[in-house]
Amino acid sequence: MKNILFLIVALFFSATSYSQILKPVKWSYATKKTGKNEAIIYLKATIDKGWHIYSQRVPEGGPVKTSFSFTPSSSYKKLGATLEPKPSTAFEKAFNMKVSYFSNTVVFQQKVNLSRLPAVVKGKIEYMACDDSRCLPPEEVDFSLTIK
């Protein structure tokens, strides 16, 4: 009986040690003041080899696009849309369409007008990561930056 119990416990720990949570995208944030009342927010995704995330501009029926929502505040106001560099584009069978995506690293930029300092800029990033054989469920990441 002890041997069977030991075997069950050993198999349980063996199985759980092989399961892993995939986190192929890491986000980092920075700010740069560009004038007395203006700054740029940098939102950088570092993407594991073989994985990619999608552009903000993805056609309907495609994968979940990367999107940014900024929490309203009296200390800042967004200026224009969030900018992104030129993405790669390819046909993806899973979505039966051409999609634009980023691999390795990508930096998104958002200009803000500051009404007072320090200004705290908070928000959420929603994105979906895929590799050649699978896509992970969409994920939301909170961010918070202080501009002094």
Q: What is the pLDDT of residues 8-57, one digit of tens each?
A: 333 333 333 444 688 999 999 999 999 999 999 999 999 999 999 999 99
Residue 97 pLDDT > 60: yes
- Give the right CATH number for 23-147 from 3.30.750.24, 3.40.50.720, 3.30.565.10, 2.60.40.1250: 2.60.40.1250
What is the H or E stretch that residue 145 is in? strand 139-147
Per-residue confidence at 111, pLDDT binned at 50, 70, 90? very high
Q: Is the pLDDT of residue 6 over 70?
A: no
Q: Is the pLDDT of residue 7 over 60?
A: no
**58 alpha-carbon distance from chain centroid:** 15
Q: How confident is the model at residue 1 (pLDDT cuts 50, 70, 90)?
A: very low
Q: Convert the pLDDT of each residue in 55-78 to its tens digit.
A: 999 999 999 999 999 999 999 999
Residue type, 2: K
Tell me which H or E stretch contains 17.
helix 2-18
- Kindly state the helix (H) or strand (E) to which residue 8 belongs, with its residue range: helix 2-18
Domain borders along the chain are: 23-147
Residue that wins the pLDDT comparison between 59 and 6? 59
Nearest to 54 by CA among 80, 79, 84: 84
pTM: 0.84
CB atoms within 10 A of CB 94: 13
User: Cβ contacts of residue 143 below 8 Å, gap of 6+?
Assistant: 27, 29, 43, 122, 123, 124, 125
pLDDT at 95 over 80: yes
* Per-residue model confidence (pLDDT) at position 20: 67
Evaluate whether 122 touches 146 at the Cβ level (below 8 Å): no
pLDDT of 94 reads 84
When the pLDDT of each residue in the chain is averaged and rounded to a whole number, the result is 89
